[in-house]
């Protein structure tokens, strides 16, 4: 646990009692503060009270009297589309609003660090797509290289639930826009920006607000090194803002699909090969084509980001390559589930927006595509750019018929996962891939994308030869 600093002897309100909220309350107690907890869900409050935590209705008048701060869980809106009523009460009372990420950065360092030969480092990864894979890959590479490392944030453990890092320790954080937007302290040693595509636009009032939320990771203190994906205009702009000149190697530019040139520090992937250039000279390369845990151009971008981040910590290209070859991949993210009868089965349930699905479809030549669910803003027209790789779509979800009508490929309305898997397997030919890449949220049929992916794999297991 990371005890929270700066609130000893004070009351601190905690809104939202999921994983991060409970970890925050415990860490506040460890730091000498008194947490006042609230969640609209009675079951969440009951779990907190069973731990001995005090629950107080933060929506009542006077709830913020003598309260030093309000700590908000990531899923609770604090600005757009409208602030949560409890957040508004805190703001009206002049009470600072923060989240567990902000508390983590203000509380991580200890006086004991002065005795370390190698102080702990923090790598923070944000972006629209690939940040989970990138963070997990960085964690895996460091672990394989013998570095003490912990993975947390939007993946793994809550940040305040981590063990205080020791000599040479590394903390790898995956941070969503919800987390970076509100944190009052953001001071990683290495910051990674993978890419940007439309997502969560209602929460950020459009693309400008969404980019601004991501950009805060690099603007609220500034990392020593910034790894920036420059395949989108926003990333190109961000790299330009951070660099003092073309040769400033504090900024490592990365790309998937094109060669980067110039006097700076560049890592890019083309035709399955990763290359590292510094001061105009190639200093490292990796053949990514044989790495099963990283299929497709989108994963090659993740590989570039992980390579750059771990190089920034001093790992050799050889050590990084060895770690990549043993990387097993993340569940529900381009996850190879099975190969049978010449057909490959891939679970990419995390592909919930159009951009991530385009990248998933581009990774394979002939796809039997299982898609559908709770449609996000922006429509599906952009998916037609990848229709050449799709043999047929099998559409699930409560609004499957309407979803199917927007696709410019042959589509069969299946509604349920069981029916979609049955039909795709029945029609799949050797050399084809049955791919779950929904291009939609899961909440019309499942609690989360993990449950959707698990259902896909369960239906496959029930039908594949054992």
Q: Any bridge partners for residue 393, and if so which?
A: 369, 411
341 is in an annotated binding site: no
Task: Assess contact for 43 and 22: CB atoms under 8 A.
Answer: no
pLDDT in tens, 410-433: 999 999 999 999 999 999 999 999
**Average pLDDT, integer, range 208-215:** 95
132 is in an annotated binding site: yes
| DSSP class of 368 | E
pLDDT in tens, 282-305: 999 999 988 888 888 888 999 999
Judge whether residue 241 has pLDDT over 90. yes
197 is in an annotated binding site: no
Predicted structure pTM score: 0.85
99 is in an annotated binding site: no
Spatial separation of the C-alpha atoms in residues 27 and 380, rounded to whole Å: 43
Show the DSSP H helices in 328-428 as ranges: 354-362, 400-405, 417-427
Phi and psi at residue 404, in whole multiples of 5°? -65, -35
Spatial separation of the C-alpha atoms in residues 292 and 389, rounded to whole Å: 20
pLDDT in tens, 160-210: 999 999 999 999 999 999 999 999 999 999 999 999 987 778 889 899 999
Spatial separation of the C-alpha atoms in residues 180 and 409, rounded to whole Å: 38
For the chain, which domains are there?
A: 11-98 (3.40.50.720), 107-325 (3.40.1190.10), 335-460 (3.90.190.20)
128 is in an annotated binding site: yes
Task: Assess contact for 228 and 238: CB atoms under 8 A.
Answer: yes
| DSSP class of 130 | S
């Amino acid at each position: 646990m990371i005890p929270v600093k700066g609130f000893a002897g004070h009351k601190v309100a905690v809104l939202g009692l999921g994983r991060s909220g409970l970890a925050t309350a415990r860490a506040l107690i460890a730091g000498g503060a008194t947490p006042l907890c609230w969640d609209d869900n009675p079951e969440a409050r009951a779990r907190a009270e069973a731990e001995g935590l005090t629950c107080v209705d933060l929506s009542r008048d006077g709830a913020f009297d003598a309260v030093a701060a309000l700590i908000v869980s990531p899923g609770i809106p604090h600005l757009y589309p409208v602030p949560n009523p409890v957040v508004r009460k805190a703001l009206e009372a002049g009470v600072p609003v923060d989240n567990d990420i902000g508390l983590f950065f203000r509380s991580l360092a200890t006086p004991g660090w002065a005795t370390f030969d190698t102080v702990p480092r923090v790598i923070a990864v944000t972006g629209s797509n690939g940040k989970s894979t990138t963070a997990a890959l960085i964690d895996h590479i460091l672990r394989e290289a013998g570095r003490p490392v912990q993975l947390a944030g939007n993946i793994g453990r809550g940040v305040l639930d981590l063990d205080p890092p020791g000599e040479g320790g590394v903390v790898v954080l995956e941070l969503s826009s919800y987390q970076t937007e509100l944190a009052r302290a953001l001071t990683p040693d290495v910051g990674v920006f993978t890419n940007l595509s439309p997502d969560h636009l209602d929460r950020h009032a459009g693309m400008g607000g969404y980019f601004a939320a991501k950009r805060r990771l690099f603007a609220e203190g500034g990392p020593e090194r910034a790894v920036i994906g420059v395949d989108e205009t926003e990333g190109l702009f961000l790299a330009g803002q951070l660099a003092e000149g073309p040769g400033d190697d504090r900024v490592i530019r990365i790309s998937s699909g094109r060669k980067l040139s110039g006097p700076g520090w560049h890592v890019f992937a083309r035709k399955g090969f990763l290359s590292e250039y510094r001061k105009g000279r190639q200093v490292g390369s990796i053949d990514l084509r044989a790495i099963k845990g990283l299929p497709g151009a989108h994963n090659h971008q993740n590989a570039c980001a992980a390579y750059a981040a771990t190089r920034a910590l001093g790992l050799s290209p050889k050590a990084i390559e060895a770690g990549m070859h043993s990387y097993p991949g993340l569940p529900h993210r381009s996850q190879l589930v099975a190969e049978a009868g010449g057909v490959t089965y891939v679970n990419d349930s995390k592909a919930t927006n159009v951009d991530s699905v385009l990248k998933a479809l581009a990774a394979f030549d002939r796809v039997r595509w299982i898609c559908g669910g709770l449609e996000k803003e922006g429509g599906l027209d952009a998916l037609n750019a990848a229709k050449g790789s799709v043999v047929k779509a099998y559409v699930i979800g409560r609004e499957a018929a309407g979803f199917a009508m927007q696709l410019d490929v042959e589509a069969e309305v299946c509604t349920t996962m069981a029916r979609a898997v049955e039909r795709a397997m029945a029609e799949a030919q050797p050399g084809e891939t049955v791919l779950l890449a929904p291009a939609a949220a899961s909440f019309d049929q499942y609690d989360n994308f993990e449950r959707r992916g698990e259902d896909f794999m369960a239906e496959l297991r029930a039908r594949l030869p054992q």
